[in-house]
Amino acid sequence: MARVRPTQPQNNGAGMKRLFIPRVLIVGIGLIGGSFACALKAAGVVGEVVGYSRRTTTLARALELGIIDRAETSIVDALADVDLVMLAAPIGSTRALLEAMKPALNGKTIVTDAGSVKGSVIEDVQQIFGRVPEWFVPGHPIAGAEKSGVEAADAKLYQDHKVILTPHGNTSAAALDLVCAAWRATGAEILLMDANHHDRVLAATSHLPHLLAFSLVDTLAKENENQEIFRYAAGGFRDFTRIASSDPTMWHDIFVANRDSVLGALDHFSRGLEAMRRAVEAQDSQALLGIMTRAKVARDHFTKMLAKRAYSHSMKAHNVTYTVQPGGSMNGTLRVPGDKSISHRSIMLGALADGITEVSGFLEGEDSLATLQTFRDMGVVIEGPNEGRVRIFGVGLRGLRAAPGALYLGNSGTSMRLLSGLLAGQAFDSTLTGDESLSHRPMGRVAKPLLQMGAVIATEPSGTPPIRITGRQRLRGIHYDMPMASAQVKSCVLLAGLYAEGETSVTEPAPTRDHTERMLRGFGYTVKTEGSTISLTGGGSLKATQIDVPADISSAAFFMVAASICPGADITLQHVGINPTRIGVINILRAMGGNIELSNEREVGGEPVADIRVCYAALKGIHIPEDQVPLAIDEFPALFIAAACAQGETVLTGAEELRVKESDRIQVMADGLNTLGVDAKPTPDGIIIRGGIIGGGEVYSHSDHRIAMSFTIAALRANDVIVIQDCANVMTSFPTFVSLATAAGIRLSVERHG
Ligand code: S3P
């Protein structure tokens, strides 16, 4: 095996041996092979780099540029005493090269390659050696440029790029380790994959786009008026066809070597293109917009992923820290973003309606965007959001299509619970997944009534996501006595009830937000509310409508508390939703002595709204009435800050639900308040907070948006700096929080890491 010996000093602090490869041979010194050599040299992990090429001019230039240390024109001489060979010649020449190398390979030299097709290379190796030898490690760096040749070699080419290795069952661990270590030294990230899978993926993502670019340029270049075409070809043509300047020999070899997968990708693409052609021919705007909005969203998402900004499953969100200076002020007139609960429901019902629903004031936060994306995934055309405006081309109650994969709902419990009900009635299967926090939240509470309705739905044994729903079930209406006051469970059952035979009814132990009922009525669906029981009958239809989403009282709550605790404060919050099932925060703050005035009360699209003026007031501690708990369920983290600034003790009971929100809000708030020197004692179903002086310190939001924002406003009354960790999720519900908070007078600065 190759000599991989540690160099001196071994000082990476982790006790790991530093890589050193005495001799590397590069076969084919173009962009790929040359860059590999340069990167190994730059990392100081190679002794001598030998270069082999059939062209003496290439060798001479590579020597001149310092890419190689020694040039060889005989492959057998080149292989003498080499530890690692990188085969980086066009893949059409692989078989002949291996044939020539065979007599000089002694089993100790490790060979890897950089070919864009793995199946054909493995086949070549098998042909020459009778089997895949243990020293062969098939590989493919996903990096390159339309430039080629030795001049294009770049030591940084692989930095932060992916390299796919497709080790064969025979490949030895030592060989794989060495190749991995070498690639890592170039700055690349390594992925292991099956060779066939690699070839199919690359056919779609790399080979097909190259083929299309070559074909488009050739087609246009053959036109008589090609001069004209190229003269007027602007950005679009340039961007789309950049890769048509790539090396024709190399791409010829790739298309031939990966023939079957390339044809598969091309046929699939042709069907998509044909569908688009038909849409243009028929002037079918809905089909065209559908294709293009889905493509745009996918491309935007990809752009963010490239910039490592994506909020996505596979990507750890950037860590965000808030640093808040003590003091500050709270003044002005502001409009917080749209209501999250109503935004979710506007997409869901708009998608299920017949006709086009227009929404304004939509919350462009990650939670409601997760719902929006889900419906796009299920084939609904949705334009926007564009400054809060969204147009949803409803597909009717039976018009959703199976999504291509699992539906990823990020941090959003509301999306997952409401969608469970809605999807239980569909004619296809669905899987619902979420982020770390959502993956720990209880879903048995929705699975239980749905199972009673005849749905086939499964959670993990712990009752947590993923949720797997088997479609094509006949749902029957049930009466469900909810064991807990939860608008999400109520809404889930009612949405499933749209698909059930007969009447579905829900009785709630205490009033919870009734946006689902109100909005269903707005879409022309009959929903009865008799006392605490809400019912509807399945089999109807929804008629598209217009929805004006009021500002979210749950976001306004941070500023209501902020103004209440900040001497001299006077703020007006405009157009805030004051649905009676949501105004617990106003009732509780008033009971504590808060100075809150409502004006301009009106009804917008079935929801009451008002402007809310809040001025500073000396607050006093109270025992919070338990009937207010469901009406202020999301506002307690902010209210705990009010309690910390109040005179005397504030006691909360009957609020065990807070323990299963985006975080355990009782424990996390108690921990943070204690860090800041406030006397806060968690109890199983609430908390006891004694008002007093708030100090400074470092607190953790546990990725819970409402915890992060609550500690931000606490700084208005703190006597030292408050640093809040894990604030990225503020984007789930309140994307403009930082700018509104600073405009109003909070001394907040934001730092992003990672
Ligand atoms: C919501 C209901 C509440 C609330 C959540 C949004 C809704 O949850 O906490 O932020 O939109 O229906 P529960 O129903 O679980 O109490």
Ligand 1 site, residue 341, Cβ cutoff 6 A: yes
Higher pLDDT, 404 or 651: 651
Confidence of residue 318 (pLDDT cuts 50, 70, 90): low
Strand partners, 599: 611
Angle at 200 between CA 93 and CA 434, to 5 degrees: 140
Ligand 1 atom at minimum distance from 516 CA: 12
- Distances 558 to 554, 590, 737, 745 between C-alpha atoms, Å: 8, 15, 10, 13
Topology annotation, domain 16-193: Rossmann fold (3.40.50)
Cβ of 343 below 6 Å from ligand 1? no
Q: Euclidean distance between the first and final Cα of the chain, in Å?
A: 38
Residues forming a β-bridge with 338: 551
- What residues have CB less than 8 Å from 296, skipping those under 6 apart? none
Is-above-0.75 flag for pTM?
no
pLDDT of residue 754: 61
The pLDDT of residue 1 is 34
Take residue 719 and report the two structure tokens written for it.
Answer: 């006597």
**Bond into 637 cis (ω within 30):** no
Ligand 1 centre distance from Cα of residue 487 (Å): 5
Planar angle of CA 27, 152, 240, nearest 5 degrees: 115
Tell whether domain 340-548 is in CATH 3.65.10.10. yes
CATH 1.10.3660.10 residue ranges for the chain? 201-283
Query: What is the atom index within ligand 1 of the atom nearest the CA of 490?
Result: 14
**What pLDDT score was predicted for residue 557?**
98
For residues 312 and 665, the model is more confident at 665
Pocket test for ligand 1, best of 366, 411, 443, 488 (most atoms within 8 A of CB): 488
Asked if residue 486 has its Cβ within 6 Å of ligand 1, the reply is yes
Q: Tell me what percent of the chain is helix, strand and coil, each rounded to the nearest 5.
A: 40, 20, 35
Say what the pLDDT of residue 225 is: 63
| Atom in ligand 1 nearest the alpha carbon of residue 445 | 15
Closest C-alpha residue for ligand 1 atom 16: 486
Query: Which member of 253, 377, 514, 634 is catalytic?
Result: 634
CA 340 to chain centre: 18
Residue to mutate, 339, 341, 414, ligand 1, most ligand atoms under 8 Å from C-beta: 414
Q: What is the pLDDT of residue 197?
A: 95
Where in the sequence of the chain do the CATH 3.65.10.10 domains occur? Answer: 319-335+552-753, 340-548
Length of the chain (residues): 754
CA distance readout (Å), 706 to 330, 351, 408, 700, 719: 19, 29, 22, 12, 22
The token duo for 54 is 């059939």
Distance (Å) from CA 182 to ligand 1 centroid: 51
Q: Is the CB of 633 under 6 A from ligand 1?
A: yes
Which DSSP category does 428 fall into? Answer: S
Q: Please tell me the predicted confidence (pLDDT) of residue 311.
A: 34
What is the best residue among 491, 495, 633, 732 to mutate for testing ligand 1's pocket, by most ligand atoms within 8 Å of CB?
Answer: 633
User: Is residue 142 within 8 Å of 118, Cβ to Cβ?
Assistant: no
Q: For ligand 1, what atom is nearest to the CA of residue 344?
A: 11
* Type of residue numbered 594: G
CA angle 590, 734, 489 (to 5 degrees): 75
Closest by alpha carbon to 180, among 121, 122, 135, 137? 137
Q: Are 377 and 407 in contact (CB under 8 A)?
A: yes
Ligand 1 atom, smallest distance to 489 CA? 14
Q: 494 CB under 6 A from ligand 1?
A: no
Residue 199 appears among annotated catalytic residues: no
Give the burial class of 684: count Cβ atoms within 10 A of its Cβ; 0-12 exposed, 13-18 middle, 19 or more buried: exposed
Whether the CB of 357 sits within 6 Å of ligand 1: no
What is the rounded CA–CA span in Å between residue 207 and residue 268? 13
Nearest ligand 1 atom to the CA of 633 is 9
704 close to ligand 1 (CB < 6 Angstrom): no
Give the pairing of strands 319-324 and 722-725: antiparallel
- Residue 583 and residue 611 in contact, taking contact as beta carbons nearer than 8 Å: no
Domain with CATH 3.40.50.720 in the chain: 16-193
Question: Which residue's C-alpha comes closest to atom 11 of ligand 1?
Answer: 341
727: Cβ below 6 Å to ligand 1?
no
Rounded to the nearest integer, the mean pLDDT of the chain is 92
Q: Are 614 and 569 in contact (CB under 8 A)?
A: yes
Of 64 and 300, more confident:
64
Confirm if 28 and 88 have CB atoms less than 8 A apart: yes
Does 564 sit in the ligand 1 pocket, CB within 6 Å? no
Q: What is the pLDDT of residue 303?
A: 67
Measured CA to CA, the distance from residue 490 to residue 500 in angstroms comes to 15
What tens digit of pLDDT does each residue of 71-96 get?
Answer: 999 999 999 999 999 999 989 999 99
Nearest CA to ligand 1 atom 5: 414
CA-proximal residue: ligand 1, atom 13 (nearest): 486
Task: Convert the pLDDT of each residue in 719-732 to its tens digit.
Answer: 999 999 999 999 99
Please determine, for residue 230, whether its predicted confidence score (pLDDT) is greater than 60.
yes
- Please give the C-alpha separations between residue 584 and each of 370, 442, 513, 626, 650, in angstroms, as whole numbers: 27, 24, 11, 10, 15
Q: Is 487 in the pocket of ligand 1 (CB under 6 A)?
A: yes
Q: Which atom of ligand 1 is nearest to the CA of 554?
A: 10
Query: Residue of the nearest CA to atom 10 in ligand 1?
Result: 634
Domain 319-335+552-753 has CATH 3.65.10.10: yes
The per-residue DSSP string of 351-419 comes to HHSEEEEEEES---SHHHHHHHHHHHHTT-EEEEEETTEEEEEEE-TT-----SSPEE-TT-HHHHHHH
The yes-or-no verdict on residue 252 having pLDDT over 50 is yes
Cα(702)–Cα(726) distance, integer angstroms? 6
Convert 409-422 to b/e letters by CB count within 10 Å (16 or more is b).
bbbbbbbbbbbbbb
CB 34 within 8 A of CB 59: no
User: Residue with the nearest Cα to atom 15 of ligand 1?
Assistant: 486
CA of 486 from ligand 1 middle (Å) equals 6
State in Å: Cα 175 to ligand 1 middle. Answer: 54
Instruction: Spell out the CATH class of 201-283.
Output: mainly alpha
Banded pLDDT at 310 (limits 50, 70, 90)? very low
Q: Is 733 in the pocket of ligand 1 (CB under 6 A)?
A: no
Average pLDDT over residues 672-681: 98
Q: For ligand 1, is residue 414 a contact (CB within 6 Å)?
A: yes
**pLDDT computed for residue 18 by the predictor:** 85
Contact at 8 Å (CB) between 501 and 540? no
Name the maximum alpha-carbon separation found in the chain: 92
